[in-house]
Amino acid sequence: MCGIVGLFLKNQALEPQLGSLVSGMLTTMCERGPDSAGFAVYGTPSKGKGKITIQSADADAFKGLAERIKKEAGVAADLALKSSHAVLTVPSDKSDAVVTWLRANTPNIRIMGSGEAIEIYKEVGYPTDVAKRFDLAKMSGSHAIGHTRMATESAVTTLGAHPFSTGPDQCLVHNGSLSNHASLRRELRRDGIRFETENDTEVAAAYITWRMKQGLNLGDALRGTLDDLDGFFNFVVGTKNGFGVVRDPIACKPAVMAENDDYVAFGSEYRALVDLPNIDKAHVWEPEPATVYFWER
């Protein structure tokens, strides 16, 4: 079943409240996905700095990691620990090199996402517990996407939770099921896209990354899903400066959106939106089938 929430702020004065607002939205979706949960938050980028969100079930995996990266990869790194996750801050032109080093030298560490603005946190557990574990309510930023998962076709694992990130500052959450993900995964692998799971949603995220690498903007990449992805889906996608939504042509999965002068919001159900500020002044609608909606700063 799964639940999706998303909030894209137009009003910068609301940015300190982003995490609190999204945490409240995510809480309303617990019944739609009690297995695991996750969220991506886009904060203010620091000039010349990149962020790499990493995860490990091994409590000792992060000990001395920044020092190892400095010694073995030759890159200065700061590490901020948050429960089973940590955020490495490195020079932005060294992010790819550090990701490559991590994959080669730290088998107990998984990379959740990287970029200049994005941080991704996801774990197995009840969504309210996951949100509290990573202090979502205290986070600030310009936009965020969250997901509560009810697993139907793959295992309940940390890597199987949403969001999925397959490109810098990109992530995607999904409610639905794709039928052609196996063949599309093979095609994308031939084009150099890396996969961490067998989850169909990761293929959708990789498809968006692939299309944007070809020069498409987020809106056009989302339009491509309508031709190239088979199945049922609501996708909510984040990029460094953008927020997008698309539903498949049948649109059997529930979705509702709201927009006013302060924000654009998405929820699998209206109850995810009811506590947002000035929701009574927002235009509220059900997104149309086979229609792309996207906003950029």
Percentage of the chain lying above the pLDDT 70 cut: 100
Judge whether residue 185 has pLDDT over 90: yes
Work out the angle between the directed axes of helices 181-190 and 200-213 (0-180°, nearest 10): 40
Q: What CA–CA distances, in Å, run from 209 to 24, 87, 142, 192?
A: 29, 22, 21, 11
State the Cα–Cα distance between residues 44 and 120, nearest whole angstrom: 14
Judge whether residue 154 has pLDDT over 80: no
Q: What CA–CA distances, in Å, run from 113 to 41, 50, 169, 260, 283?
A: 11, 11, 7, 30, 33
Helix (H, G, I), strand (E, B) or coil at 223: helix
Q: pLDDT tens digits, residue range 115-127? A: 999 999 999 999 9
Q: Which amino acids are annotated catalytic?
A: 2
Phi, psi of 22 (to 5 degrees): -70, -35
Rounded to the nearest integer, the mean pLDDT of the chain is: 96
Q: Which residue has the tokens 């205290």?
A: 138
Judge whether residue 152 has pLDDT over 80: no
State the Cα–Cα distance between residues 154 and 287, nearest whole angstrom: 28
Q: pLDDT tens digits, residue range 26-62? A: 999 999 999 999 999 999 999 999 999 999 999 899 9
Q: pLDDT tens digits, residue range 198-215? A: 999 999 999 999 999 999
Q: pLDDT tens digits, residue range 257-275? A: 999 999 999 999 999 999 9
Residue 159: what pLDDT?
92
Among 122-136, 150-164, 206-220, 277-291, whose mean pLDDT is lowest? Answer: 150-164
Judge whether residue 247 has pLDDT over 80: yes
Neighbours of 255 (CB within 10 A): 21
pTM equals 0.96
State the Cα–Cα distance between residues 246 and 286, nearest whole angstrom: 11
